[in-house]
Structure 1
């Protein structure tokens, strides 16, 4: 397929997989390992709700891991700018796999409790942050700068497939076979990630790098002072994820609002992934967009709109507008579940488009010598925003389950409009001449 044909096609650009066997192996390993991770994420949320019957306790899974995740992102990014990035990613993946294996063992032996769920989730989250930041820092070397946007879209397909399939299967596995089997399947699937990482070439960072330590981390953070475009995309993502990440509500929504229990919770999560997957499959022309700053802002506003509509669906359920009658785990409200899934699919699509633009900007505009640290900060932002959002969701859910997404959607649209109005440099960002 020629460059011209690829640019004219709306379908995803597959050249990174064809032209870089190393990237292709890593992509497959990440896909299979990510499927297992999503099984466990879903199972842990359902397990916590089953033990506590508290949405706040579920939301605190994410909140408890916030500080360790921040430390892991900053420290891991620093390591990726000093050591062979393949070794750093392998080490982090090993730690994450060990935590999953221990979770499975505890579940099989009946020794699992709330504190083990919190503790092992924190370890797994921190390890995933380091591995994710390091893998993203590898991308330009593996595929070349001309295919960064295409690689980011393929990453979206990975995320879409694993989140689409993982939560749905996770909910079904928990409902049919309970938690130990679900955790064990994750431990087995995660082994595939090691193959993708182990077969990579040596990937030492280019240019002069700092010795590992606090000074190196500080220098990475200081880079943001002279990188207004990167700084602005971080701010916008935090806004989106803080006010538009209602995942902690899903267990309660499935039990008390829409009905269907664990299956509905899995479907809601899968709907987000479906939007990610479809938008990635039709991402062929995203690489031709030059005004990526504006693209990020508009995508996040669309995300806010879809989040607010999801809140309206939940409000309709709370008021009984669908006329479905009795609602419980055995009697789901099919109409409102479908509408909720459609809204969440649009949030996934909008967030994915924003993510493709943000990753392309970050990897094209940031020098390789500091890219690991900036990817670490990126992972802190990407993973930290939802954790702050989980706290926001947990608090406002005490009023009603529909309040966090409805209010959050309005807040996102308003804040992004205000920021974009005054961020002249970000609006003018040109992908043909990338500047951080």
Structure 2
């Protein structure tokens, strides 16, 4: 065997997505079940707005679906995190998966029966959002228990890459169903496929080992109430690295998320048609490609600096895409933006899981759920208001430049974030560079 032949596999392993977490049976089952369920969910994500518009012929009702999904996340997201720290996380994930299953079966039933109620659609979407708000923090916090600390970035990358793959392939498959059947048949088929594939997530949750909460430092029983939520917020306020990571993600999404401008730009610059589909899929394609070439992310130690650079890159790529006048160039730049978004998402989630103690991970994942869900929706609002008042070009380009500039200003004003390093010890434990004094329970003092 030549030197070239021995070097090439090593280089491929260096850049290709790191699959080592899949060697852990419990994580592998959860990853597989979650991936299958997410693919199925895309059928419902496409079918529900199509059905709503068919019932009402009014885009306002379609927009209300976003409100119906967002409000439960705000209301139940933080509480779901508290539950994940107070109850066996396996039971939380199983219960939320069953609740999601019930909501999808409700959608299937109303489609088969031809109920035709927009209000019922809103209620079922809200119910599914409640299940995400409760189960999301537990699902995110599970990763830190299932794999060793040095594999957390790789496991997080696998999760995000799988989500992006389903976001690309799922809507395409749903579109084929809607094109192949009359709407009265296509909708039950879409909902039925989602309900069937969701069984995989229920199966994965059943097969997980028990994951009871860690003992409370005060020795008392864990309670998923207001005090628990306040304790989580207080911990976050005393952890500047995590607080700044949430802040920079909000900057990226609120100021530079251009999704609300895609229909107008596609119609004005590119004549509509297939252009809007390319715009909507381009960011997900970039994230998927970045995930497939993400082997290097797990070896990053200066995670804070990489997070800042990724957000700056996201903002610049979005701004340049807003200036482009050729569809292929806009798509290419949004693909780059999607790659930067994948990197920032993986690094930020890895920082959260490894930095925080296990007893706090659920509550912090609850905050993360609110941030991740709220940021893009606030970004849609920002882009829509600016687009209506100043034009789509200013809203798109100005938002991207603002995000990049604010990310730099945040990093300069609060250097703690850019200086953060993730150091994995010989046995796999995380060694933070946070030098603040520690109390007996291991939390930073003050």
Same fold by TM-score greater than 0.5:
yes
Matched residue of 1:162: which SS?
helix
Aligned position for 1:217: 229
Q: What is the CA distance between 1:241 and its match in structure 2? A: 1.5
Matched residue of 1:81: which SS?
helix
Match of residue 229, structure 1, among 219, 235, 241? 241
Normalization by structure 2: what TM-score? 0.84
| Superimposed CA distance per residue, residues 358-410 of structure 1 (whole angstroms, 9 cap, x where no aligned partner) | 11111111001111111111111111111222322333343555554333212
Which stretch shows the higher mean deviation, 139-148 or 384-393? 384-393
Aligned position for 2:212: 204
Aligned position for 2:426: none
**CA distance change for structure 1 residues 269 and 133 in 2, over 3 Å: closer, same or farther?**
farther
Aligned position for 2:48: 44
Match of residue 331, structure 2, among 341, 355, 368? 341
Q: What is the CA distance between 1:159 and its match in structure 2? A: 1.2
User: Does 1:83 pair with 2:83?
Assistant: no
Match of residue 175, structure 2, among 162, 171, 174? 171
**CA distance change for structure 1 residues 369 and 247 in 2, over 3 Å: closer, same or farther?**
same
| Structure 2 unpaired stretches of 5+ | 1-5, 424-430, 435-443
Match of residue 203, structure 2, among 183, 195, 212? 195
When the two chains are superposed, the root-mean-square deviation of aligned CA atoms in Å is 2.7
Q: What is the CA distance between 1:129 and its match in structure 2? A: 2.9
Contact (CA 8 Å) 1:311, 1:405: kept in 2 or not? Answer: yes
Matched residue of 2:227: which SS?
helix
Contact (CA 8 Å) 2:256, 2:403: kept in 1 or not? Answer: yes
- Please give the alpha-carbon distance, in whole angstroms, between the structure 1 residues aligned to 2:262 and 2:102: 28
| Superimposed CA distance per residue, residues 144-166 of structure 1 (whole angstroms, 9 cap, x where no aligned partner) | 11110110111122112111101
Aligned position for 1:426: 417
Match of residue 22, structure 2, among 17, 21, 36? 17
Contact (CA 8 Å) 1:167, 1:266: kept in 2 or not? Answer: no
| Structure 1 unpaired stretches of 5+ | 317-334
Q: What is the CA distance between 1:425 and its match in structure 2? A: 1.1
Matched residue of 2:295: which SS?
coil
| Superimposed CA distance per residue, residues 194-250 of structure 1 (whole angstroms, 9 cap, x where no aligned partner) | 111111100112231632211111111111121000000111111111123333455
Number of residue-to-residue matches in the alignment: 411
